[in-house]
Structure 1
Amino acid sequence: MDTFTATTDRMGRLRSEIAEHPARHRILTGERPTGRLHLGHLFGTILERARLQAAGVETFVVLADYQVITDRESPGAVRENILEAVRDNLAAGLDPERTVFFTHSSIPELNQLMLPFLSLVTDAELRRNPTVKAEAQDSGRALGGLLLTYPVHQAADILFCKGTLVPVGKDNLPHVEMTRTIARRFNERYARIFPVPAGLVTDAPELPGLDGRKMSKSHGNGIALGMSADETATAIRRARTDADRLITYDPVRRPGVSGLLTTAATCLGIGPADVAARVGTGGSAELKRVTIEAVNDFLRGHREGRARITPEDAAAAIRAGNARARGIAAETLDEVRAAMGMAYGF
């Protein structure tokens, strides 16, 4: 049984356990602040965080600023990206009283966990990770040490706070499996300190970008959550479609048309074929009008909430979260040192 099948098989039991005993769980999730968050992030992760928080699960959100430079030479506008990401999370319902927002670089104790964790994995295991392989290929550069150890960074993010749940898409399950491996090996070699976290696979649809590819910050093909209604309309009108007036859902032969159908359908809560039937022979112009209306109607509440949240509000949430996360990380690091016989008392 492969990792995805095994994880999917236990999703029903896991969700029942979360519903019955939310206080037993702690989520670690996060953002790599390489750009503005888009509609795909909202459906794929942020709304799930808000749902789990509302259910009573303690939530940690890492703004993984150190991970920005795994595949690039400069962090770019990382401060602005962090603040805008937190604003989007707060606008979606995340509450800084119940959710801990923190930046990687502000928690040195978390990063110190990297050293013992690295001793628990092999070079071959790191190189087999699909994300490491894909990002190394996309970067066009030699594989750097930071990118190679990216899965161990994520393990430290999850385990420093003794996270039990990691909401992920199926593409990121190998990272959770690496974390599970590290937790088991540490517990077996030294002492039982860490829970073995479970990947919580979201059932949210994966939104294609406006060019038919996966919606991605690096591709620049998304509908950013910070866009105004007019900016959203302009971006959608620029999407490449085709000249066939009969609108049909065919992701292989009509990726641009199908991408817009999927986006509109997700916002409307119906199927892409149903949107296609509504548009009928209206052509690309009508399809874009329907998509613009669907997206702007869906994002109206988010935009109103976001407008009330200032960058200083976001900064205050991060400062409070950094203090909370650092305290937890220090406690965990003390436990790790003691288990390894490295709590010297001097």
Structure 2
Amino acid sequence: MDQRARSGTYGHAARPQLLEDRGRDVLVVEGHRVAALGERQHGGRIGVVPHHHVMGDLGGTHAGRLGEESYVQPQAGRRPVHHPGQLAAADDPHHERSRSTHERQGYPDALRSADGSGRGCESMHPMTENQPQTAVPSPDEAAPEGTQPGLIAREQDVLAHPERYRILTGDRPTGSLHLGHYLGTLQRRVQLQNAGVPTVLVIADFQVITDREDPGDIQRNVFEILKDYLACGIDPEKTITFTHSAVPALNELLLPFLSVVSLPEMERNPTVKSELAASGQKTLNGLLLTYPVHQAADILFCKGNLVPVGRDQLPHVEQTRVVARRINERYAGGRTILPEPQALLSPAPLVLGIDGDKMSKSRNNFISISHTAEETAKLLRRAKTDADRHITYEPETRPEVSSLVLIGALLSGQEPEDFAAAIGDRGGKALKDAVTEAVNEHLAPIRARRLELAEDPGYLQQVLRTANEKANAMADATLTEVKDALGMIYY
């Protein structure tokens, strides 16, 4: 199938129920259980309602504050366009009737509504396995407070109809990936890829220079990440892995996208604020200011409609939806030329570094996928624990010990409580030894494959070249469509 025909919407959740409401499909997703550090029982409940062509002014040429909605009628003779992945078919006889006041309670300020304000970090990311609970929430109480209707999608729908979706996610090439990336994002990407969901991964080399004066060896780091991807199971026959700088049309999309976002909106974006604080820079540069809009271009250049994220990254997806909606309304006469993506939401396990802080390349407290077994053992011997010799899994009261337990459990296929119980009163050294064994045993085939890839740089270059060509074809097609809507096609 032509890649451009596979547009759709983003999603993740637990057991679904399909309800009917005034001729509209309403998907309700139950709460789910997450084996994550500090959050054994996750009560997040997700509801998804169709947004159809409920498109608002959102601060465009009309007076009105951001978040207030007004309807845009399709141009005469033009049938509303539904992208695959939307919940109602284009021939739904109830479509026009479903666009009611009930469905348009007003979008919140997408550039301010955030469940958290954590740093955007190096990935657009994470997911862990969820276990369903039994309560069925209403759509209104299901989504995180302050988020847009239709923002969250459900995993069951994605897995049932993978052809309706296209995932866009990726990493900034600031070095090789570590256990936090592997447990939080890489494993999940491979699962979704193998489930048949078309996947596009961006190695965001341009975004390395948003918040640092010394970007490091970007070329080397790009290939380090590519080796990590391939060694962990990313299949170049199924997944497109490209670099920002090799796709000019993607970056050109930033120009029309910036025309629909105001300076105050960008300045108050929580990601911009947190990135600036984390970078230690005193002044806000233009690239960091436009960073969230650039991420919108990352997602929409391939008509990506599913973005795996944590709750702290929902503002990325919300802003992308705002950009897509405004482009469609302002320049395309209400036609859907860009999909409004959804978030595939699930918290990743919080993996602490050997010093007890969040595992991070910038803190140099990580266990890398590329480390040798000996390097791993040496690092884990230095890992912070506590004075209590009895090993338990209590994330809130014993975070350092519990993080080690969680790593060992996840990599050995056990429950954290069982992994801790097997160590019992043997203390921190026994815990570190058990975790070292679990890490090295699990990563052994990945590390072996990575060494093989390192011996064949020509293959790595070919993988990247082929993927960049595919990404360019998608970006060129999308840019042409946007230019056509703008009236900028001259011959």
User: Into which bin does the TM-score normalised by the smaller protein fall?
Assistant: over 0.9
The 8 Å contact of residues 209 and 222 in structure 1, kept in 2 or not, is answered as yes
Provide closer, same or farther for how the CA distance between residues 129 and 272 of structure 1 changes in structure 2, counting only shifts above 3 A: farther
SS at match of 2:207: helix
What letter is aligned with 2:319?
M
Provide closer, same or farther for how the CA distance between residues 213 and 200 of structure 1 changes in structure 2, counting only shifts above 3 A: same
Match of 1:228 in 2: 372
State yes or no: 1:137 paired with 2:243.
Answer: no
Match of 1:174 in 2: 315
Which of 386, 389, 399 is the equivalent residue of 1:245?
Answer: 389
Match of 1:99 in 2: 239
The 8 Å contact of residues 350 and 403 in structure 2, kept in 1 or not, is answered as no
The 8 Å contact of residues 151 and 342 in structure 2, kept in 1 or not, is answered as no
State yes or no: 1:342 paired with 2:488.
Answer: yes
SS at match of 1:42: helix
- C-alpha deviations, 1:1-49, integer Å up to 9, x for none? 9766527997996322222221121111111011210111112111111
| Superposed displacement of residue 124, structure 1 | 2.7
State yes or no: 1:317 paired with 2:463.
Answer: yes
The 8 Å contact of residues 48 and 202 in structure 1, kept in 2 or not, is answered as no
The 8 Å contact of residues 11 and 200 in structure 1, kept in 2 or not, is answered as no
- C-alpha deviations, 1:121-140, integer Å up to 9, x for none? 12232233322211111222
| Superposed displacement of residue 204, structure 1 | 3.9
Provide closer, same or farther for how the CA distance between residues 155 and 11 of structure 1 changes in structure 2, counting only shifts above 3 A: closer
Match of 1:150 in 2: 291
Match of 1:194 in 2: 338
- C-alpha deviations, 1:43-76, integer Å up to 9, x for none? 2111111111111121111110010011101221
Which of 143, 161, 183 is the equivalent residue of 1:6?
Answer: 143
Q: Distance in 1 between matches of 2:287 and 2:431?
A: 44
Identity, % of aligned positions: 53
- C-alpha deviations, 1:229-285, integer Å up to 9, x for none? 111111111112233322233445543322212211221233333332222221111
What letter is aligned with 2:210?
T
| Superposed displacement of residue 303, structure 1 | 1.6
Match of 1:75 in 2: 215
SS at match of 2:154: helix
Match of 2:4 in 1: none
**Following superposition of structure 1 onto structure 2, how do residues 322-337 of structure 1 map, counting pairs within 5 Å?**
322-337=468-483
Q: Distance in 2 between matches of 1:251 and 1:125?
A: 37
Q: Distance in 1 between matches of 2:197 and 2:400?
A: 38
What letter is aligned with 2:285?
G
**Following superposition of structure 1 onto structure 2, how do residues 36-51 of structure 1 map, counting pairs within 5 Å?**
36-51=176-191
| Superposed displacement of residue 182, structure 1 | 0.6
Q: Distance in 1 between matches of 2:407 and 2:288?
A: 32
TM-score by length of 1: 0.93
What letter is aligned with 2:384?
R
Structure 2 unaligned residues grouped into runs of 5+: 1-107, 116-141
SS at match of 1:102: strand
| Superposed displacement of residue 313, structure 1 | 2.4
State yes or no: 1:287 paired with 2:424.
Answer: no
Q: Which range moved further: 305-314 or 92-101?
A: 305-314
| Superposed displacement of residue 203, structure 1 | 5.0
Q: Distance in 2 between matches of 1:119 and 1:278?
A: 59
- Tell me how large the CA RMSD over aligned residues is: 2.2
| Superposed displacement of residue 332, structure 1 | 1.0
Q: Distance in 1 between matches of 2:324 and 2:184?
A: 26
SS at match of 1:293: helix
